[in-house]
Chain A
Amino acid sequence: MSSLLSRQLLPLLHLYSRCCMKMLRCNVRLPVLMLLAAFLSACEVSGLNNPYGDEDEKLSVLYQSFSERPKHLDPAVAYSSNEYTFISQVYEPPFQYHYLKRPYQLEPLTATRMPDIVYLDQDGEKLGADANDSAIAFTDYLIEIRPNIQYQPHPALAKNAQGDYQYHRLTAGQIGSSATLADFNATGSRELVAEDYVYQIKRLAHPKIQSPIAEMMKNYIVGFDEFAKQLGDKPKVEIKDRPLAGAEVVSRYQYRIRIKGKYPQFIFWLAMPFFSPMPWEADAFYEQPGLADKNITLDWFPIGTGPYWLAENNPNRRMTLVKNPLFHGEAYPTEGEPEDKQNGLLDDAGKALPFIDKMVFMLEKETIPYWSKFLQGYYDASGIASDSFDQAIQFTGSGGVALTDAMREKGIQLQTSVAISSFYMGFNMLDATVGGSSEQARKLRQAIAIAVDYEEYISIFRNGRGIAAQGVLPPGIYGFTGDKEGINPYVYDGLGDTLQRKKIDAAKQLMSEAGYANGRDPKTGSALILYFDTTAVGVDDRPTMNWYRKQFDKLGINLVIRATDYNRFQQKMRGGNAQIFVWGWNADYPDPENFFFLLYGKNSKVQHGGENAANYQNAEFDRLFEQMRNMENSEQRYRIIQQMQALVRHDAPWVFGFHPKNFSLFHGWYKNLKPNLMANNTLKYQRIDTAARAEKRQVWNKPVFWPLILGGVFFVLMLIPAINAYRRRVRETIQ
């Protein structure tokens, strides 16, 4: 009898104790019971500081952050990197950059193959591939896309039993009762067709959409300008049935883009989100009045064919991308650079993409929480703020960089890459003092170029994360060279293998030749005053500004910082009222044309409103530029580029600043990482080892309770004299 009882009881007891354990586990996460938990299981608790819920433990989730809410997620409008982080995972242009191969190389994404390029003359007759540049009046790009690609499930594509679009005629009541896109329960999908790509190109032209590249595409795509003028104030959906001469559907899966003249770089635009497909249903759905008041717009809820779809968009806090259930499938690349194999980057070769089920992006504005959460394992990747640099990075004996021991113990990985961008200090060439092509001004500029020691800048403000620029082009762009020819002879002396910035005496010599001996302005008799225009008004910028002042002070020049807000700065630049400024350029595509056009005379900011902020004008340079821009990469193009570099170095409209080096940290559980500066849709290749992460988080986040307990005890002790005093007082008699 007794044995029977015990046999029955035993499992029960077991169950009971398991319940207790479970309750404990749940409860300890509630900070209300923090103290209780502290006493019960002070050594067991971990992750009180977990900023996420527990619901995702089964999935492979990537945690990242964004510091500024993206303004636009409409692929026709988005143009900044923080927006591309999201939409590149959702929208698919016909081409993409190969993930592993270098130099950067395009490959088809939704297209079946690279486009057929046909040159046409003025009358629309076909020309051969070797046709003379001047004869080419138009270029045709014929693109064929793959069949059976489906859009993500989306309410705009939902159809009812009769085959009509379910949500295209919403009533006021329906709109009123829905707060977000998820409130439209039914979703639908359809096949991607060539027309969607053409529709998107038409959208770029629509004045209501305000695409940032519309003004530029006017110069390239045939009939683009006329199309835009015709549209005026008409609703967005109208463009569906209006023909655009430069973009037409050839068949269900084929379309043709016709551009003016020859523009070989156009293919790079076709790999940007601007040219991804857009179903007309999206505009028809989102344009219904009332939805915009609820922030339900295409700008916030994308609709694409990519590996992920945006499940939650709360730019005030969190954005979540979830695997697209209808993704057409893509395989991990099977080939790459030779060392990729050793680095384990080809371990997943041929496997189906994407690997990560869900990506959570948290809004994180402040650096301290961001960095701390990364170290606690709550973010999978992090940049390095200059304040935490020493903690993470050390320089090795040979001048290379490596992680500190503390980081290596945590299994963190470091990735470095030189960004395809240039930062420079520009002179306004229209300015009376520093500008112009006179010998005096040129010598002054060259002297300043020597004095402003960007090596020091990089080491102080960027912790060595960058390389001092020798010319217009950053490494990785055709025409850049690391050998002797690539040195700026006006600023540097090549000493064997190493580069040596010229001594300050050389600059002082140039100053006296320019008529400013010891920095004295002959006109006023006192120190030459130059003006530095900047938008750097924050406290954090003060050291930088002081540094610039010091650099000019070496030449005896008194540099006055004119800090204004962004608008005022832009205004000054447009009006040509700036004198010296610092500016940067991030490449749109990996071609030298995208950098040299910043100095092309016909792009000058003041006369033409272009991107030539220095307003540099040199007939010879312009001639070479016109020759270079339409060439294929070749020995001849290389030579022309070197000539252009030499011209710019001599005239010194820019003090070449630096090309930033990106350092990123990733936790050990983050796999398949290779920096790719051109591609933005790289998240689909990456993988997370969830188990390893959970384990590490557990170890790293043990809370410390004893100060809390100590504080409590201290407080109680403090109360004792108070209580005593009170007792005495109550017993006191009035004298």
Chain B
Amino acid sequence: MVILWTDALIFILMAIIVGLAFYMRSQEHIKRPLKQIGRSRIGMVSLVVLVFFVLIGLLDSVHFKAGGNKTNEIVSLLDYWATPLRERGEKTYSAPFAVTLYSKEMMTLADGSTHWDYPRLEFGGSHLDDPENQRLDDILQKGLYGFAQGAGLVAFFMFLSWGMLAEQHKRLIRSPAATAVWAVAFVIVSVSYALVYLSGYYHVLGTDKVGEDVFYQAVKSIRTGLVIGTLTTLIMLPMAVVFGILAGFFRGWVDDVIQYVYTTLNSIPGVLLIAASILMVQVYMANHEENFTSVVVRADMRLLFLCLILGVTSWTGLCRLLRAETLKLREMEYVQAARALGVKQGTILLRHILPNVMHIVLISVVLDFSSLVLAEAVLSYINIGVDPTTYSWGNMINGARLEMAREPIVWWSLTAAFVFMFALVLAANLFADVVQAAFDPRRAGND
């Protein structure tokens, strides 16, 4: 078992979320909006999609050394399960479900003569003897088989939960939101089962320039997207909350200093600050090579720093919002009353101010998530994003950009990155909408 920096932070984050969930159960004013989210069909469906992504991300965050101590290779649980995908590389491009390479090559036949044709793939569809006639049937057959397996699994769980639940909960399950959740879960699980099953025989999303499986790349990129979207927030939250509340509550010179700091940071164009910091990390790693012997560790360090610096550039917005809200809150009667009663300032902050700005924090966290995932792609384009050895959608897009100029065009890398990224961001955006609607006091009760 190897725990990388980002892994550790992810686990901490998970712990915090679980803790928060327990805390929220007992809070009436939070339970109401949560129930509203629970009733929203779009909200629950996008939540299911998000949870699915998160599960994959978590699988990919459990790292250990493969093959004992013999090699230094660090792999994740996901890598371990996808070992066939990872190791069955082809020579170069091949289309989704193809059995031959994408371009013709000179081949030497058994009798020594040469022949100019599409060579068969080493792994993709290699079990077929007569690919031209068998391929379609085989794909359909295998796809259906995988789908049926997944469907069976979901059905099993459905019956299980149906049998175990009490009558009053059964009514809950029949609600429109729950039906939607079950339907989406059914589709996701079955389709991914089918895809996983098929990918044992084919490259379902083709291969890239050096023959790596694109499906594997796209799935691996999920973790990168999630890490950037969540850890950045984890890093910036304490700063934003503490400084925002302090500035708003104490005013005076505290306010001046904090305002000065965030205006200064804000006025530097973000990209330039990120560029400088990423270069600095590289210098640091070049000077401390002995600590970064593994590619995975190096890439992880860079990912962490990217989150850190994105956090530094993005905390100012939330900080300003919180400051304004605190300024309003401190004039409220109950805060004034608490003061008059001689309650300690720390206690006022903790018991009266903090809980009352939490909805702003929550909304901004969900809203930021998708924009951070999108930002990663752009940063990778200017080479100041994640490490080039890290799988990420940005890196995939960046690498695939040139493929658009090919004739015939190689579309699958770009499409894969597009679809996966789009699914995550769309789910996040929809969910954010629902959360915002539920928690925003001005809009509460509207929907």
Contacts and interface: CB of A to CB of B under 8 A. Distances in A.
In the complex they form, whether A and B have CB atoms below 8 Å apart is answered with yes
Interface stretch (B32-40, B395-403, B430-438, B439-447): B395-403
B335 interface: no
A538 interface: yes
B358 to A, nearest CB: 39
Given A368-B404, A538-B383, A397 B70 contact: no
Contacts of A563: 388
Contacts of A520: 70
Given A387-B402, A542-B388, A399 B106 contact: yes
Contact of A562 (B114, B286, B403): B286
Interface in B402-417: 402-407
A541 B388 contact: yes
Given A397-B114, A531-B289, A543-B210, 18 more contacts: A368-B402, A387-B406, A388-B407, A391-B406, A395-B116, A406-B407, A460-B92, A460-B210, A526-B72, A537-B282, A539-B398, A540-B398, A558-B72, A561-B389, A562-B286, A564-B282, A568-B282, A571-B286
Interface of B: 69-73, 91-92, 102-106, 114, 116, 208-210, 212, 279, 282-283, 285-286, 289, 293-295, 380, 383, 388-389, 395, 398-399, 401-407
Contacts of B289: 531, 562
Interface in A32-82: none
7 shortest A-B CB distances, which residue pairs? A543-B210, A391-B407, A568-B286, A368-B405, A564-B286, A387-B402, A390-B103
Contacts of B402: 367-368, 385, 387
Contacts of A542: 388-389, 395, 399
A537 B406 contact: no
A372 B402 CA distance: 12
Contacts of A526: 69-72
A710 to B, nearest CB: 22
B301 to A, nearest CB: 12
B71 to A, nearest CB: 5
Contacts of A397: 114, 116
B71 A558 contact: yes
Nearest to A547: B210
Nearest to A368: B405
Given A395-B106, A526-B72, A538-B383, A387 B286 contact: no
30 contacts: A367-B405, A368-B404, A385-B405, A387-B402, A387-B406, A390-B407, A391-B406, A395-B106, A406-B407, A526-B69, A526-B70, A529-B293, A538-B383, A539-B399, A540-B398, A542-B389, A542-B395, A542-B399, A543-B210, A545-B388, A558-B73, A561-B295, A561-B389, A562-B286, A564-B282, A565-B283, A568-B283, A568-B286, A571-B286, A572-B286
Nearest to A564: B286
B116 A460 contact: no
A368 B72 contact: no
B211 to A, nearest CB: 9
A150 B401 CA distance: 49
A683 interface: no
Given A388-B406, A564-B285, A545 B72 contact: no
A388 B405 CA distance: 7
Contacts of A385: 402, 405
Nearest to A559: B295
Contacts of B104: 394
A415 B92 CA distance: 26
Contacts of B406: 387-388, 390-391
A539 B383 contact: yes
A545 B92 contact: no
Contacts of A227: none
A371 B92 CA distance: 22
B6 to A, nearest CB: 19
Contacts of A171: none
Contact of A565 (B282, B294, B395, B401): B282
B399 A387 contact: no
